[in-house]
Every structure is written in structure tokens, then in C-alpha cells.
Amino acid sequence: MTAINTIIFDMDGVIVDGMPYHIKSWKEALLTIDMHVSDLEIYLMEGMTGRETMEIFAKKSNISISDETADKIIKLKRRIFNDIFAVTLIKGIKNLLLELKDRQYNLALVTGTRLDVVKKVLQVGLENIFEVIVTGEMVNKGKPNAEPYLKAVAELKVTKEDCIVIENAPAGITSAKGAGLTCFAVQTSLSEEYLQDADKIFKDIEGVSKYLLNSSSK
């Protein structure tokens, strides 16, 4: 752990408990075209952009939809989400971020969520935590593609060996590992069986915190 100087965080399910709002808004929006998806299906899409999520849902449901319809559903989902979303931080995450910042770690945020939502989340005392923020609209291909994490590493001007990623969903883990990064997973949204590709799996953020802070020489 002594070589690690950079921690890159996912947002939903790692920093903020946003998934219940994503689930509700996706379900309500998709019902307008009579498409039904389960909570688990939405959890497994966590980290992907709205467009990528919509394409997968349509394929799984064997429903052919136009780009125009897809755009309407995505916009409706965002509108519902914005109306109901309330920022609730994951237990222990704020203390971890502040302690890592105090120990002079490089910190970054990589999320499929839009920048306007990210800004709302960071208004709870985390405004100056992250040196680099990569959101869904800043990349050509979102998670599970490696591009978001590769972009973060490049903007941080660090090596891959310097970094650990904290994720909580398969798409994010695939993205991080595809970028050649060490990835820790936390079971805030999904059970261990869905997180097997991570290098380490923790029950919660407090477990991650103990590992990082106790292993650090900073």
C-alpha cells in the first residue's frame, strides 16, 4: 500500500445512496412504453450512461424503439429523478474522503451520472475534495468501457500502479479492470456474487476505510 497515492471513487452506492431514486425513476419512465424491468436489472446497469442503459433494456425486453423515443424516455427519467432525488451520503464516506484529503492523496470521481447531479451531491461539504471529476457526458463510451477511468488517470497525471478504484457494481469493476487498475468493491448495492471480478470485496465503506487508512504510511 505504500506506493498508492491515488484513490478513484465511483459515486452512486459509494459516495451517495442514489440508486433507490434511479430505480424509481427508471421504472416510472419505462412504464410509459410498457417496458418492465426489475430492481436487480437496474442495479446491474449502475454506472452506465442513460443511453447505454436504455439500449440494453430495450434489447433484453425485445422491444424495438427509435432514437427519438429513447431520448424521450431518458429525459423523462432524468426529470423524475431530479424531482425526487435527495442527497444521502453512504455511512462513513465523508470521514474517509476528508481523511484521505488530509493525508494528501490524489482523489478523483468517476461516474455515469450527469455533472449537475454530481454538483448537487458535492454541496454537502465535499466541494473541494476531488481533483478530477469524470461524468457520463465527458466520455464517448461509459462504463463498462475503460474510457472513464483511463481519462481520470490521464487527467490526474499518475500511473496506473499509483491507483485504487472504489466501486460497487459490475459495470464499474469491468471499467476499472479494463483500464488496468486495482479495484475494490463494496457491497452497498449488490451481494458478493456480483462483484467477483474486484481485487478485494468489502461489506461496507467502513471496511474500506479501515483497510486504506490502517495500511497507509502517509
Give the CATH number for residue 93.
3.40.50.1000
CA 213, CA 29: separation in Å to the nearest integer?
Answer: 42
Question: Phi first, then psi: what are they for 100, rounded to 5°?
Answer: -65, -40
Question: In the prediction, which pLDDT does 216 show?
Answer: 60
- 69 and 166 co-located in one domain: no
* Any domain includes 132: yes
Can you list the pairs that 52-57 forms with residues at least 24 positions away whose Cβ atoms lie under 8 Å? 52/112, 52/142, 53/26, 57/30
* Any domain includes 37: yes
Higher pLDDT, 91 or 218: 91
Report pLDDT digits (tens) over 188-212: 989 999 999 999 999 999 999 999 9
- 99 and 174 co-located in one domain: yes
Please tell me whether the peptide bond between 148 and the residue prior to it is cis, using omega within 30 degrees of 0: no
pTM over 0.85: yes
What CATH number corresponds to the domain at position 64?
Answer: 1.10.150.240
* Any domain includes 195: yes
Confidence category of residue 1, pLDDT binned at 50, 70, 90: very low
CA 106, CA 157: separation in Å to the nearest integer?
Answer: 10
* Any domain includes 1: no
How large is the average pLDDT for residues 62-71?
91
pLDDT at residue 2 tops 50: no
* Any domain includes 199: yes
Report pLDDT digits (tens) over 100-143: 999 999 999 999 999 999 999 999 999 999 999 999 999 999 99
- 173 and 101 co-located in one domain: yes
Question: In the prediction, which pLDDT does 199 show?
Answer: 98
pLDDT at residue 217 tops 80: no
How large is the average pLDDT for residues 88-98?
97
- 76 and 121 co-located in one domain: no
Q: Containing domain of residue 162, as a range?
A: 6-17+87-215
Q: Look at residues 47, 69, 84 and tell me which one is the last residue of a structural domain.
A: 84
Confidence category of residue 215, pLDDT binned at 50, 70, 90: confident
Q: Provide the number of structural domains found in the chain.
A: 2
CA 183, CA 202: separation in Å to the nearest integer?
Answer: 11
Q: Look at residues 33, 56, 84 and tell me which one is the last residue of a structural domain.
A: 84
- 91 and 74 co-located in one domain: no
How large is the average pLDDT for residues 43-52?
88
* Any domain includes 53: yes
Confidence category of residue 28, pLDDT binned at 50, 70, 90: very high
